[in-house]
Amino acid sequence: MFKLTFLGTSSGVPTRHRNVTSLALQTTHNRDWWMIDCGEATQHRLQRLPLSVHDLVGICITHVHGDHSYGLPGLLASASMTGRKKPLLLIAPAAIKAWIDATLLHTELFLTYPLIHIDVDSAPVVHEEAGLTISRHALSHRAPSVGYRFALETSRWKLDKAALQAAGAPPGPAWGLLQAGQDAILDDGTLLRAATFRQTETQRATVVIGGDNDTPALLTDACAGAQLLVHEATYTEAMLQKVGPGPTHSSVQRVAQFAEAVRLPNLILTHFSARYHNADGMAELEAEARLHYSGELFLARDFDSYELDAAGVLSKLPGKSH
Amino acid sequence: MFKLTFLGTSSGVPTRHRNVTSLALQTTHNRDWWMIDCGEATQHRLQRLPLSVHDLVGICITHVHGDHSYGLPGLLASASMTGRKKPLLLIAPAAIKAWIDATLLHTELFLTYPLIHIDVDSAPVVHEEAGLTISRHALSHRAPSVGYRFALETSRWKLDKAALQAAGAPPGPAWGLLQAGQDAILDDGTLLRAATFRQTETQRATVVIGGDNDTPALLTDACAGAQLLVHEATYTEAMLQKVGPGPTHSSVQRVAQFAEAVRLPNLILTHFSARYHNADGMAELEAEARLHYSGELFLARDFDSYELDAAGVLSKLPGKSH
């Protein structure tokens, strides 16, 4: 249903193997994809992946901080230079729109396509299209921040194969006609009606992508019925206590306890402080998470891809991490 | 005298092996360095080099276009996050200052150090400090663009070794005293005056770094007495004719002919269109350059470093290119 690819998993500053925050979200029905946050050099990450900026439908920005937004000007400019024509949605705080307007003006950037801004504060549902509903959920951070909930519902026609077999219609051309919604007549003259043998099968999946946030419980409503939460876990609880409440980030423990409390089946942590970027650091974060969360857990790395299927099962896809 | 390290050598858009424009310029007398232009992900390039943003004295921006400036916000933010306190000079068009001000405002970026803007239009000499004079020279591009001339003059005391030997003073402690400006008395009572045996030796080197520019001859005055020109050469003359005058860039031929005409001893070409980023493309550009220029020629690659010595000799330093 969903494929997620992490373009950047570092908090604040890039390091050699982790870039600042960005995430690509694809749905399985076409090549279109969404981006959530766009730290500097996100376009450079895309060059190493089979994701084209021309298939990008929209960009959701969680909050104004540079490690989540400074890749926007370059990405927008490069899309123009490579000839994009179709509109691009920018779901973002009004300040991001003001900054992009200032960028267009002062750096003489002329876009070859319409950039359509949707103010993240305008309504709880920020985008709706066939089968996909994106809503935003207010978080707690030193700058106004939101999480995005992507709810996907896809329907497809499915033949009642058992009933067809029982009616004396084995697999064959008639099945193709019925699948396409046309009635079929068997060689013996039996009429098979599509309305009888064809049913709608609906699949649903919901993913919640948090922005910077020190209070995971603010996502309780967003996570109702969701199969996956992606959330920042900047440091351990001990480090959060040491750093103090100023940065308004979450610890691994807080996110893990929240995910356990709302019985979320899958959790991916990201946005790690540079102090944890070696193997020991990541092991420390993972150990803290497993202490408080019993579901399927991953700590994201740049270039990691995951698939969430219609049964709610999350799998890490094979492929290189850096 | 000067060390140059290319941080980005691509025109317009980054490619897998070439980033958008930026150049680091060091003088040999300390760790301080200057940056000329700052395309997106320049800070990412610095992570792979022994250049610290804390030793960066100033950034010179040639013009407002994003492929020369979109790395500024992230670089400024990261310098703050890693605790920079000392002032940073930003020699740039007023529009860049306005854009940075808008960035600070809309993305809630608070710098921990003074950012001192020097309007590139304010005066021909944009910066002067002990031994270093930076002047700007107007170019021709679709946005106002300048080249920067870095003139370095360093003086040091040098002993007249031949005269000392003739005076019966072989190498020894007396030489150290004289070098430090103190008179010395030899074992036989001979007085050696520092003023007699110590002379000032002055070394000079001048480098001109062009911005985007379709008329190299505008740098004629800047190149007077210079040993090295670094200039964009976006495509071949044939491609320039095909593309037309709209982009207002230089061809290799035009830059090479100019450098030959003003008898510049060293030329480094950069800012290549992505269409030339393979070996064949670079060979085509180099062949065109050698047809029109007989001096020391290099086509820059990302991470290439060069040293210009006091004799005006330019050498490519050993090290990895990407």
- The H-or-E segment that residue A95 falls in is helix A94-106
Distance separating alpha carbons of residues A300 and B203, to the nearest angstrom: 54
| Residue A202 CB burial class (10 angstroms; 0-12, 13-18, ≥19) | exposed
Q: Is the Cβ of B103 closer than 8 Å to some Cβ of chain A?
A: yes
Does B65 appear as a known binding residue? yes
- The H-or-E segment that residue A241 falls in is helix A237-243
Residue A187 known to be catalytic: no
Residue with tokens 């005076």: B167
Distance separating alpha carbons of residues B59 and B34, to the nearest angstrom: 6
DSSP A7-69: EE-BSSS--SS-PBSEEEEEETTSS-EEEEEE-TTHHHHHTTTT--GGGEEEEE---S-GGGT
Tens digit of each residue's pLDDT (9 = 90 or more) over A14-36: 999 999 999 999 997 778 999 99
For chain A, what is the mean pLDDT? 95
Distance separating alpha carbons of residues B171 and B173, to the nearest angstrom: 7
| Residue A320 confidence class, pLDDT cut points 50, 70, 90 | low
Distance separating alpha carbons of residues B195 and B187, to the nearest angstrom: 20
φ and ψ of B127, to 5 deg: -160, 140
Distance separating alpha carbons of residues A232 and A209, to the nearest angstrom: 9
* Helix/strand/coil percent split, chain B, to 5: 30, 30, 40
DSSP A116-168: EEEETTS-SEEEEETTEEEEEEE--SSS--EEEEEEEEEEEEEE-HHHHHHTT
Residue with tokens 């309305």: A195
Q: Give residue B307's pLDDT.
A: 97
Q: Is the Cβ of B65 closer than 8 Å to some Cβ of chain A?
A: yes
Q: Give residue A321's pLDDT.
A: 54
The C-alpha angle with vertex B115 and arms to B112 and B116, in degrees rounded to 5, equals 150
| Residue A312 confidence class, pLDDT cut points 50, 70, 90 | very high
Known catalytic residues of B? 67
Nearest by CB: B99 against A65, A107, A143? A107
- pLDDT over 90 at B272, yes or no: yes
Distance separating alpha carbons of residues B155 and B26, to the nearest angstrom: 17
Q: Which residues of A touch B47 (CB under 8 A)?
A: 14-16
Handedness of CA A43, A45, A47, A53 (dihedral sign): negative
Determine the residue of chain A that is closest to B82 in CA distance: A13
Structure letter (DSSP) for residue A180: T
* Average pLDDT over every residue of B80-100: 97
Which has the closest alpha carbon to B108: B86, B137, B87, B77?
B77
Q: Give residue A75's pLDDT.
A: 98
* Average pLDDT over every residue of B100-122: 97
**Catalytic pick from A37, A67, A302, A304?**
A67
Hey, what domains does chain B have and what are their CATH numbers? 2-157+199-316 (3.60.15.10)
- Mention every residue, 6+ apart, whose C-beta is less than 8 A from residue A121: A93, A94
- pLDDT over 80 at B306, yes or no: yes
Does B271 appear as a known binding residue? yes
DSSP A204-225: EEEEEE--S-S-GGGGHHHHTT
Do residues B231 and B215 touch, judged by C-beta distance below 8 A?
A: no
* Average pLDDT over every residue of B81-104: 97
Q: Which residues of A touch B44 (CB under 8 A)?
A: 14, 19, 40-41, 44
ipTM of this predicted complex?
A: 0.91
Do residues B14 and A43 touch, judged by C-beta distance below 8 A?
A: yes
* Average pLDDT over every residue of A151-163: 91
Do residues A57 and A90 touch, judged by C-beta distance below 8 A?
A: no
φ and ψ of B69, to 5 deg: -140, -15
Q: Give residue B321's pLDDT.
A: 54
Distance separating alpha carbons of residues B318 and B303, to the nearest angstrom: 11
Handedness of CA B309, B313, B319, B322 (dihedral sign): positive
- Encoded tokens for B85: 């306190």
φ and ψ of A270, to 5 deg: -155, -175
Do residues B34 and B61 touch, judged by C-beta distance below 8 A?
A: no
* Average pLDDT over every residue of B28-49: 94
Which has the closest alpha carbon to B58: B122, B130, B118, B135?
B118
* Average pLDDT over every residue of B90-105: 98
Q: Is the Cβ of B17 closer than 8 Å to some Cβ of chain A?
A: no
- pLDDT over 70 at A322, yes or no: no
Question: Where would I find the beta strands (DSSP E) of chain B?
Answer: 2-8, 22-27, 33-38, 56-60, 88-92, 115-119, 125-129, 132-138, 146-159, 184-185, 191-192, 198-209, 228-232, 266-270, 296-299, 305-308, 314-316
Tens digit of each residue's pLDDT (9 = 90 or more) over B169-183: 889 899 999 999 999
For chain B, what is the mean pLDDT? 95
Do residues B33 and B24 touch, judged by C-beta distance below 8 A?
A: yes
Does B231 appear as a known binding residue? no
Min distance A77 CA to chain B CA atoms (Å): 8
- pLDDT over 90 at A268, yes or no: yes
Do residues A128 and A134 touch, judged by C-beta distance below 8 A?
A: yes
| Residue B84 confidence class, pLDDT cut points 50, 70, 90 | very high
Q: Is the Cβ of A77 closer than 8 Å to some Cβ of chain B?
A: yes
SS3 call for A176: helix
- pLDDT over 80 at B29, yes or no: no
- Encoded tokens for B192: 């050696």
Q: Give residue B75's pLDDT.
A: 98
- The H-or-E segment that residue B237 falls in is helix B237-243
Determine the residue of chain A that is closest to B65 in CA distance: A107
Residue with tokens 């927008």: A76
Which has the closest alpha carbon to A230: A288, A284, A272?
A272
Residue with tokens 């470093």: B305
| Residue B279 CB burial class (10 angstroms; 0-12, 13-18, ≥19) | exposed
Q: Which residues of A touch B106 (CB under 8 A)?
A: 64, 95-96, 98-99, 102
